[in-house]
């Protein structure tokens, strides 16, 4: 984006007092240090807000400033540790690029400060006009859900009669989640502590980090668990595995079909589990027997004997063996065959009979939280109009989850005139979805786009109004339940005072806007009242959580059951058949195939970045710069053919764009794949730290929607790479 989003001089004039106070405080480090040495330390429980693992953390505060953070031992995701992003993320509060004032678009790429009251009034008037002129089906809300935002914004959307609520999953795990919903009814997780053999497809605990999962992987290895990692790239997790199996990008479904063939042909499956808990075994078996390892070897580039060995390793260790459920990689939002790839992972876990067994797949227990008494606090009725993203609608996206929707489709719907107003919270689809130009152009077609964030994301820069939330260390949130072997409950507490007086916690923003819309009756309560009601069935209070942070609850494992239409694992899925999809997974090739001199562009996380959101944290970006983490990986065999040497500047081109970046030539990537990290390439110039560093895989990929679960197919693109200057 070439132009500035607003006049810096105008903004500084308007917000001068606030900024002067804040920056004076930030940079008076020596004064602070002297005081800090003598100061008492307070320790406040919080939830890390730097990625969606939501680790429990303790924030230590001296003299009103954050001193350090540690992981809560009892929290299932942190287990006493935080990753680098968690340690750096607590400093987001002090970032000089924060949005410190409500802002209004005055023209193309031009924003001016506006008072909260005027912002509420203008947004309410514009929203009311959209509702009157076009109806509530044209209004959407997209979020990277947080405990408080989920609660307040669902009420708000229902209060205006609008059903289209999104999470971020259509660019993440929606294929996994849709496959689970229709095959087993719910998400199960791998029992790493007891597994004898575990297969990872693309999922890398050491790159898409949660501290406890990475520790569990290391422990499993110590215990002698066989850990097999199938991935086009030697990920950071491979050092903890026994075997890295490089695979051609987008072909994991072929591997799984052939593995099922081996398990069935060699009687390495559990007939009792199949008999008691599954439907459609005969159709499934008939289909699988046509997919031999020799057939799959030609597609996956994995030798047939290796495929047989992997299947046997799992089959012989059943039921204490499993395929770990990742969230992206081959079974997430990346390939056209992602939903069926995930169905196959589930079907193989079912063949192993591992559901509910030690070392297999276990359904986590959820704590049951309470609600406000609806007699005292009226609940808005559920909307009656259809969604504007087609989710749940026959002929459009009938099987996609209504709890997730298709947020990246909204700009296209805006271009078609089917979406007219949107709210986006703590989510950056304009940068984290393919085709950023289409995303921004579409958002700008809306009559109203309100973005709530703490920094000038690419999505914020496309908004009509930008409302600044206070950062996660400056606010308290509603409690949230944690599902697991033992359920738990936790709450983020406020660690420091608000640094910028014109930022607000989300519930205050929604309540203020609801007031202007005449919807006070649905918000006539405090956050404390909601939190108290949520904790009541657990016989806990908010004070308990303010003291302890996370509390682990008792929970007894339930009898094994599957919440599908048949009540069983659907090896043959009737809902798929009814909607014209393959009821038993069959081979579906990826759309993108590498040629002799081209590559499928794959991407993935690095342990120090959460998409592009963290690239503006100076400490993290410095690590990336020090270690050249922005480079594109290619295999030496192809590099040699193309005359490219390690460290050289190359031009990466797809039919949609060309960009330059340095290259890492490494045996750690399959020759058909070029790997780009997903965390760089910020386009917003007001993210001054991250702007201009690296390139982003989404620039090379077209905007698409997969048919079954509605994901973005983010790795279905072929690129060419040439040395710059040639």
β-bridge mates for residue 278, sequence order: 569
Site for ligand SF4 in 652-691 (CB under 6 A): none
Among 15, 22, 61, 83, interactor with ligand SF4 by CB under 6 A: 83
Q: Does 210 bind ligand SF4 (CB under 6 A)?
A: yes
Q: Return the number of the residue (325 or 502) whose C-beta is nearest ligand SF4.
A: 325
Can you read off the two tokens belonging to residue 226?
Answer: 């066989």
SS3 658: strand
Stretch that binds ligand SF4, among 33-41, 51-59, 293-301, 597-605 (CB under 6 A): 51-59
Q: Does 492 bind ligand SF4 (CB under 6 A)?
A: no
Nearest C-alpha neighbor of 538 from the set 521, 516, 553: 553
Q: Does 53 bind ligand SF4 (CB under 6 A)?
A: yes
Stretch that binds ligand SF4, among 207-215, 331-339, 366-374, 642-650 (CB under 6 A): 207-215
Q: Does 217 bind ligand SF4 (CB under 6 A)?
A: no
Q: Return the number of the residue (54 or 120) whose C-beta is nearest ligand SF4.
A: 54
Can you read off the two tokens belonging to residue 515?
Answer: 């007031």
Stretch that binds ligand SF4, among 203-211, 365-373, 481-489, 655-663 (CB under 6 A): 203-211
Q: Return the number of the residue (397 or 472) whose C-beta is nearest ligand SF4.
A: 472
Q: Does 54 bind ligand SF4 (CB under 6 A)?
A: yes
Q: Does 82 bind ligand SF4 (CB under 6 A)?
A: yes
Q: Does 55 bind ligand SF4 (CB under 6 A)?
A: yes
Q: CA neighbours within 13 Å on the CB side: how many for 483?
A: 9
Q: CA neighbours within 13 Å on the CB side: how many for 74?
A: 16
Among 45, 86, 434, 681, interactor with ligand SF4 by CB under 6 A: 86
Cβ 192 vs Cβ 220: under 8 Å: yes
Strands (E), 372-440: 421-425
Walk across the sheet containing 448-453 and list its strands.
110-113, 103-107, 465-468, 448-453, 421-425, 139-143, 164-166
Query: To the nearest whole angstrom, how small is the minimum distance from the Cβ of residue 6 to ligand SF4?
Result: 30
Q: Return the number of the residue (51 or 59) whose C-beta is nearest ligand SF4.
A: 51
Query: To the nearest whole angstrom, how small is the minimum distance from the Cβ of residue 86 to ligand SF4?
Result: 3
Would you give the binding string for ligand SF4 spanning residues 230-269, x where CB under 6 A is met? Answer: ----------------------------------------
DSSP 501-514: TT-B-HHHHHHHHH
Stretch that binds ligand SF4, among 52-60, 171-179, 290-298, 620-628 (CB under 6 A): 52-60
Q: Does 609 bind ligand SF4 (CB under 6 A)?
A: no
Stretch that binds ligand SF4, among 44-52, 231-239, 433-441, 458-466 (CB under 6 A): 44-52
Q: Does 48 bind ligand SF4 (CB under 6 A)?
A: yes
Q: Return the number of the residue (464 or 612) whose C-beta is nearest ligand SF4.
A: 612
Query: To the nearest whole angstrom, how small is the minimum distance from the Cβ of residue 397 to ligand SF4?
Result: 30
Q: Return the number of the residue (211 or 241) whose C-beta is nearest ligand SF4.
A: 211
How far apart are the C-alpha atoms of 566 and 720, rounded to whole Å? 47
Position closest to ligand SF4 via CB: 86
Alpha-helix runs per DSSP H in 84-210: 84-89, 116-134, 147-159, 174-183
Query: To the nearest whole angstrom, how small is the minimum distance from the Cβ of residue 331 to ligand SF4?
Result: 21
Nearest C-alpha neighbor of 423 from the set 139, 33, 128, 95: 139
Q: Return the number of the residue (55 or 123) whose C-beta is nearest ligand SF4.
A: 55
Stretch that binds ligand SF4, among 30-38, 153-161, 205-213, 283-291 (CB under 6 A): 205-213
Q: How many residues bind ligand SF4 (CB under 6 A)?
A: 16
Angle between helix axes 174-183 and 338-351 (nearest 10 degrees) is 50
Q: Return the number of the residue (605 or 703) whose C-beta is nearest ligand SF4.
A: 605
How far apart are the C-alpha atoms of 303 and 142, rounded to whole Å? 43
Residue whose entry in the numeric block shows the structure tokens 């400490």: 619
The alpha-carbon radius of gyration of the chain (Å, integer) is 25
Q: Does 212 bind ligand SF4 (CB under 6 A)?
A: no
431-446 as b/e: b if 16+ CB within 10 A: bbbbbbebbbbbbbbb
Site for ligand SF4 in 329-388 (CB under 6 A): none
DSSP 553-586: ---PPPPP---SSSSSEESS-HHHHHTTS-SS--
Site for ligand SF4 in 611-650 (CB under 6 A): none
Residue 122's alpha-carbon distances to 108, 127, 136, 153, in angstroms, are 18, 8, 18, 19
Residue whose entry in the numeric block shows the structure tokens 């799984």: 256
Burial class (CB in 10 A: 0-12, 13-18, 19+), 586: middle
Query: To the nearest whole angstrom, how small is the minimum distance from the Cβ of residue 669 to ligand SF4?
Result: 25
Query: To the nearest whole angstrom, how small is the minimum distance from the Cβ of residue 684 to ligand SF4?
Result: 21
Which residues are at the interface with ligand SF4 (CB under 6 A)? 48, 50-51, 53-55, 77-78, 82-83, 85-86, 89, 209-211
């Amino acid at each position: 984006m070439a132009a500035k989003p607003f006049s810096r001089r105008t903004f500084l004039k308007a917000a001068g007092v606030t900024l002067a106070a804040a920056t004076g405080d930030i940079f008076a480090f020596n004064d602070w240090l002297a005081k800090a040495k003598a100061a008492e330390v307070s320790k406040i429980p919080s939830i890390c807000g730097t990625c969606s693992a939501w680790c429990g953390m303790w924030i230590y505060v001296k003299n009103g400033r954050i001193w350090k953070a540690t992981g809560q031992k009892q929290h299932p995701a942190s287990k006493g540790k935080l990753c680098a992003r968690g340690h750096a993320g607590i400093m987001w509060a002090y970032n000089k690029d924060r949005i410190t004032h409500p802002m209004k678009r005055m023209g193309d790429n031009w924003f001016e400060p506006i008072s909260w009251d005027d912002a509420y009034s203008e947004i309410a008037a514009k929203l009311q006009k959209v509702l009157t002129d076009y109806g509530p089906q044209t209004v959407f809300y997209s979020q990277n859900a947080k405990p408080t935002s989920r609660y307040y914004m669902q009420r708000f959307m229902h209060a205006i009669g609008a059903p289209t609520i999104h999470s971020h999953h259509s660019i993440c795990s929606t294929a996994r989640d849709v496959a689970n919903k229709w095959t087993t009814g719910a998400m199960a997780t791998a029992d790493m502590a007891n597994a004898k053999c575990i297969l990872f497809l693309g999922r890398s605990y050491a790159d898409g980090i949660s501290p406890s999962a990475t520790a569990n992987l290391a422990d499993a290895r110590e215990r002698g668990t066989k850990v097999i990692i199938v991935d086009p790239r030697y990920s950071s997790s491979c050092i903890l595995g026994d075997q890295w199996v490089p695979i051609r990008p987008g072909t994991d479904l072929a591997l799984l079909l052939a593995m099922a063939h081996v398990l069935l042909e060699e009687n390495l499956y559990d007939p009792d589990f199949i008999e008691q808990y599954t439907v459609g075994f005969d159709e499934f078996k008939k289909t699988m027997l046509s997919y031999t390892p020799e057939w799959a070897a030609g597609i996956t580039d994995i030798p047939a004997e290796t495929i047989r060995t992997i299947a046997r390793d799992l089959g012989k260790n059943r039921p204490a063996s499993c395929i770990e459920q990742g969230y992206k990689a081959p079974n997430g939002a990346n390939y056209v065959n992602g939903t069926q790839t995930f169905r196959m992972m589930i079907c193989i876990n079912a063949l192993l009979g591992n559901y509910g067994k030690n070392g297999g797949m276990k359904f986590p227990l959820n704590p049951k939280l309470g609600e406000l008494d609806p007699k005292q606090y009226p609940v808005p009725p559920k909307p009656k109009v259809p969604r504007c993203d087609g989710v749940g609608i026959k002929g459009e996206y009938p099987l996609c989850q209504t709890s997730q929707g298709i947020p990246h489709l909204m700009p296209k719907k805006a271009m078609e005139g089917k979406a007219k107003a949107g709210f986006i919270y703590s989510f950056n689809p304009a940068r984290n979805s393919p085709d950023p130009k289409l995303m921004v152009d579409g958002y700008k077609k809306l009559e109203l786009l309100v973005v709530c964030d703490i920094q000038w994301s690419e999505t914020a820069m496309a908004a009509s109004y930008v409302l600044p939330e206070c950062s996660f260390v400056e606010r308290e949130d509603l409690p949230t339940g944690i599902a697991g072997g033992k359920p738990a409950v936790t709450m983020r507490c406020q660690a420091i005072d608000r640094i910028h007086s014109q930022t607000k916690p989300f519930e205050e923003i929604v309540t203020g806007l609801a007031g202007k819309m005449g919807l006070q009756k649905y918000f006539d309560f405090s956050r404390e009242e909601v939190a108290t009601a949520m904790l009541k069935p657990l016989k806990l209070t908010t004070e308990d959580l303010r003291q302890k942070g996370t509390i682990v609850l008792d929970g007894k494992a339930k009898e094994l059951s599957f919440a599908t239409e048949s009540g069983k694992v659907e090896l043959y899925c009737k809902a798929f058949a009814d909607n014209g999809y393959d009821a038993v997974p069959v081979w579906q090739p990826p759309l993108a195939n590498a040629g002799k001199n081209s590559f499928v562009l794959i991407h993935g996380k690095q342990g120090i970045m959460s998409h592009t959101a963290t690239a503006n944290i100076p400490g993290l970006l410095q690590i990336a710069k020090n270690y050249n983490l922005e480079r594109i990986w290619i295999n030496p065999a192809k590099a040699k053919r193309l005359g490219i040497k390690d460290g050289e500047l190359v031009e990466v081109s797809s039919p949609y764009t060309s960009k330059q970046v340095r290259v890492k030539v490494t045996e750690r990537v399959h020759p058909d794949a070029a790997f780009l990290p997903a965390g760089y390439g910020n386009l917003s110039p007001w993210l001054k730290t991250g702007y201009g560093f690296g390139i982003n895989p989404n620039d090379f990929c077209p905007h698409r929607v997969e048919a079954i679960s509605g994901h973005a197919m983010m790795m279905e693109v072929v690129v060419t790479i040439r040395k710059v200057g040639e």
